Amino acid sequence: MTPYDHLQRRDWGAAFGLLLFVALMTAGYYYNVTFVQLGLIDLGVRLVGMSRAAVSVWMAVLALLTFVVAVGFGVLMDRRGWSTNLRAKLRVLFLVVVVQLALTLAAPTVRTVPAFAAWILAASVALGVGFPASFSLAIDCVPVPDRGPVAAVITAITYGAANAYPVEWSIDAFSRLMVVAMVPGVLVLGLLVSGRVRPVERLLDDLSGRHRRHGTGRFCRESPVETRSVGFLAPVMLMFGVFFVDSLGFLRIIETPALILTAWQSPSMETRLLIAAAHVVGAVVAGVLYVNFDLEWLFLWVFALFSVTYVFYTSDLRLAAWLPASGVGSGSVLNPAFYSLTVSVYTTLNFALWPDLSTAETVGTRTAVGVGMAGWLATFCSTAAALYLDGAAVPLLTHLNLVQALALLLVFGLAVALYARRTVQVARTGREGSP
């Protein structure tokens, strides 16, 4: 079944659900990767006058608080039964978007450290409440077989737009853009939760019962997966590793003008379009891989891609050290393009994975723990590690070498773990079969 099949069968409820999920997740993720991740650095450094390290500490606080709030709210959602109540989730999201709109409008006016801290606290609460509420919509809106392709579409649109559409990396530019995008979003969500538009109510009624069919995710169908079991915790730890590797490397890359000005902040439209295209290709690749391979293979792909990405970066830097006159190491657009492809692959996996590791009754907690641990806690830890390395004046090559070693270790470790598991299975089968 593809999204096109829903339209062909005139299943408007399913088509509306997919559209709603893609729109909400795309908007939310775009807000996160642009306004939160890039805009706050500019706000703290340029407008508030803090040091880069101090802003990084506050970003880490944001990540940690978001994680705590998300887990708390996710558990609350499951206990109160909000996870299976579509209208309740939409009402929560409406409130979250209204708060975020207010925060977005207020951000460029922040000038003092206490105001910046208050802003961070409020944003953490909004983000923490928002993402279990939004991720859990998957059980109402996205049939299990569609989750890979839908995740690919969200990733492709988000990163494609973020890279192809030229926005200055400043809080003012991000704020203006986000306000323009959020106002219609608030109106649409307001319409959805108003309860007064009959056709909308019919669509929501249709969607409300779908969690009974779509609620049990792909990886929970054959046997139930407990939150404290290896079946759930192993993907959480692996995804933590993925985000940690990415964040630790990228934090250093964006602080290196030679690397960032020839890639994500390049004045050349062609370069940015190439990076956007790499993101779209990566998302499509991940969408195809997700529906054809089991989870362990997907993680192996991601770690292998990260390893190769950092081999490229470190090889260029080594070459530049060996042949200083060559200028290699700063100019190749292949490295950021490959990096972008890799990021799209794991982002797609992240969007599809957590609902597929949940049931309708556990989706709040699982998505909160999954995205929170992997996304936010990993960011917190990697920021701390990056600050430590920065303080120790570790050179760029050594820093990226460390990230590469970590990626290689993870790909090797995972391969060994899979092989060991298979060996144990074979040994058990042999024992059972022996006389």
Partner 1 sequence: MTVSTEIIPLLVVVLLLLSASGGDVERMEVVFEGTHPVTAVDDALVVGGGEVTVPAGTTVEGQLYVIGGALVVDGRVRGDVTVLSGTASVTDGAVVTGRLDAVAGGATVADGATVGDLRRVEPTPAGRSPAVRYGFLAAQALALAALTAWLSRRRPRALATVGDSVVNHGLVSGVVGLLAGATLLVLFVYMAFTLILLPVSVLGLAGLVVVLGYSFAVYGYLLGRRLPVERVDAASALGAAVFLLALELLGTVPVLGALVQFALVGVGFGAVLLTYFGLHEFEPARIPE
Nearest CB to partner 1, comparing residues 253 and 381 = 253
Nearest CB to partner 1, comparing residues 338 and 354 = 338
Phi-psi region of 8 (alpha: psi -120 to 50; beta: other; left: phi over 0): alpha
Pick from 56, 46, 323, 93: nearest CA to 191: 93
Nearest CB to partner 1, comparing residues 77 and 363 = 363
Minimum Å distance from CB 48 to partner 1? 35
Minimum Å distance from CB 413 to partner 1? 20
Q: Which two tokens stand for residue 215?
A: 């609620």
Binding site for partner 1 (CB under 8 A): 1, 143-145, 218, 221, 284-285, 288-289, 291-294, 301, 304-305, 308, 311-312, 315, 318-319, 323, 325-328, 330-334, 338
Minimum Å distance from CB 292 to partner 1? 4
Q: How far is CA 432 from the centre of its chain?
A: 43
3-state secondary structure of 217: coil
DSSP summary character for residue 418: H
Nearest CB to partner 1, comparing residues 244 and 301 = 301
Nearest CB to partner 1, comparing residues 28 and 336 = 336
Per 3-state DSSP, what percentage of the chain is helix, strand, and coil (rounded to 5)?
A: 85, 0, 15
Please answer whether residues 389 and 372 qualify as being in contact, where contact means their C-beta atoms are separated by less than 8 angstroms.
no
294-328: buried (b, 16+ CB within 10 Å) or exposed (e) per residue?
Answer: ebbebbbbbbbbbbbbbbbbbebbeebeeeeeeeb
Minimum Å distance from CB 308 to partner 1? 5
Minimum Å distance from CB 257 to partner 1? 14
Nearest CB to partner 1, comparing residues 246 and 356 = 356
Neighbours of 20 (CB within 10 A): 22
Minimum Å distance from CB 87 to partner 1? 26
